[in-house]
Structure 1
């Protein structure tokens, strides 16, 4: 089978495109014929070694996939050949990645793809939408009627955050560029603030503050929090912000670190069920997707690291 893989950790140039043996599923695994796989920043962290996780070489890159079941082990009774499925947690903690024609996926990390959902769009949503769900509900403990501030609301994760928070009955304050304001409102934002405007005023009383931009301006975030408000830190691998301890503890607030790669299988499955509902209803769709062939995996990694990508990059693998 053809795959995008590495024989060592390093820059994008270490990614090769070539033939690897077809993997064999175990009793609780599912062999999936991959249709599409997305490329994420976290994929570059694993490939480069910035995120240390067990890697067995040759290592297939990528975490997200949409595909079709080819074979299911006896311990994976919920799946049958021909089923359309998706996954967003491969390529980490010893698991081989998704940028390949066939991949073995543990059954508890695989979810049905709803009828009518485009596989390329689903691949583009798999990582950012799950990240948004876990940030808001698992870690941010969002409840209906609360106020959420989403910094970077027009991006991949940010737009999913806006949709999910609004659908949950929260009031969403979005920060974005002025030209993205109408898009954020169409997703459900009640208020949009141009973060580039030095005269912009931000509302206080925020219950959950989520910054997708990796700026991690904790002094400003804590200042905006309501009593018992929560800041969810979900990006910025090398940032070292100052924590305003005094205001934090006087308001009984908290700062919560969150990386989706640490999520449990039950947490991921809960997120997947919510994502499937929103995709089926047509409420959750990627804003912009660029499709490249699997052979362009190294170039896709290079472009993401260079900051040249707006929207999502998806590698098309099969029909």
Structure 2
């Protein structure tokens, strides 16, 4: 089969596209023919070695996969050949990735693709939406009627967080570039602010005079000195970006508000967590309430260029990868 893989960690120059044997499945695995994938920031971290995890070489890159079951092991009970499926946890912890004609997926990491949802529409939202679920539901325990602030609403996780928070009945404020304002509003944001304009903190305070219940800076800047005074009593701040960030932590402003800092990485999520997220994702996909925008589309043969496009940040929208 054709695949995009690395023989050592490092830059995009290490990505090769060539032929590897079709992988063999175990008794509780499925062999899935890839129809769509995407590039996430974590894919760059794994490929470069910035995020240390098991990468048996040659290591196929890519995390998200939408495709069709070609073969199912004798212990697989929920899927049969021909089923349209997806997963969002390949390419990590020794699991080979999605950038190949075929991928092996354990049944407990495989989910049905809702009828009528195109692979190219599903693949770009899977990782981001699961991240949004973990942050808002598992970590922050978002409640109906609470106010959420999402910094970076124009990004993949930010956009998914807006949509999921609205589906949960929250009021959503977001900041983004002026070019992304319309997109954020289309996702359901109640208030969209231009993060480049001066006085952002004051405008957040005006839009949420009672304070923010859940603060999520998807950009990874984490300016807690500005953030803390805007938080409501009992607020939760989510940490899932900014690997190199080392912000000042205003402890007094945080603990006197009973605030919590909640850090997580989706790569650490259990299969139970991911399955719960998948049920919510499938419900929103089926209802047409979970969307993404495609900024660039690449073929598997151009995997290195796809990684470069994500790394340079010049693409507004998701980087889609097709066979």
TM-score normalised by the shorter chain: which range applies?
Answer: over 0.9
| Cα offset, 1:289, TM superposition | 4.1
Superposed, which structure 2 residues align to 1:114-153 within 5 Å? 114-153=114-153
- TM (norm. structure 1) is 0.97
Query: What does the per-residue CA deviation read over 1:71-95, in whole Å, with 9 as the maximum and x for residues that have no partner?
Result: 1112211000000000000000110
| Cα offset, 1:149, TM superposition | 0.3
**Residue in structure 2 matched with residue 202 of structure 1 by the alignment:** 204
Distance 1:182-1:312 versus aligned 2 partners, 3 A rule:
closer
Q: Distance in 1 between matches of 2:199 and 2:261?
A: 27
* Worse-matched range after superposition: 286-295 or 243-252: 286-295
Q: Distance in 1 between matches of 2:180 and 2:21?
A: 46
Superposed, which structure 2 residues align to 1:182-193 within 5 Å? 182-193=182-193
- TM (norm. structure 2) is 0.95
| Cα offset, 1:121, TM superposition | 1.4
| Cα offset, 1:40, TM superposition | 1.0
**Residue in structure 1 matched with residue 271 of structure 2 by the alignment:** 265
| Cα offset, 1:29, TM superposition | 0.7
Q: Distance in 2 between matches of 1:57 and 1:185?
A: 44
**Residue in structure 2 matched with residue 276 of structure 1 by the alignment:** 282
Q: Distance in 2 between matches of 1:43 and 1:178?
A: 28
Question: Pairwise CA RMSD of aligned residues?
Answer: 1.1
Which stretches of structure 1, 4 residues or longer, exceed 6 Å deviation after superposition?
none
Instruction: Report the number of matched residues.
Output: 317
Aligned: 1:244 with 2:246: no
Q: Distance in 1 between matches of 2:186 and 2:176?
A: 13
C-alpha contact (below 8 Å) 1:121/1:289 kept by paired residues: no
Aligned: 1:305 with 2:311: yes
| Cα offset, 1:181, TM superposition | 2.6
C-alpha contact (below 8 Å) 2:59/2:96 kept by paired residues: yes
Question: Please, which runs of 5 or more residues in structure 2 have no aligned partner?
Answer: none
Distance 1:289-1:307 versus aligned 2 partners, 3 A rule:
closer
Q: Distance in 2 between matches of 1:11 and 1:188?
A: 37
Query: What does the per-residue CA deviation read over 1:57-81, in whole Å, with 9 as the maximum and x for residues that have no partner?
Result: 0100000000000111122110000
Q: Distance in 1 between matches of 2:78 and 2:303?
A: 32
**Residue in structure 2 matched with residue 2 of structure 1 by the alignment:** 2
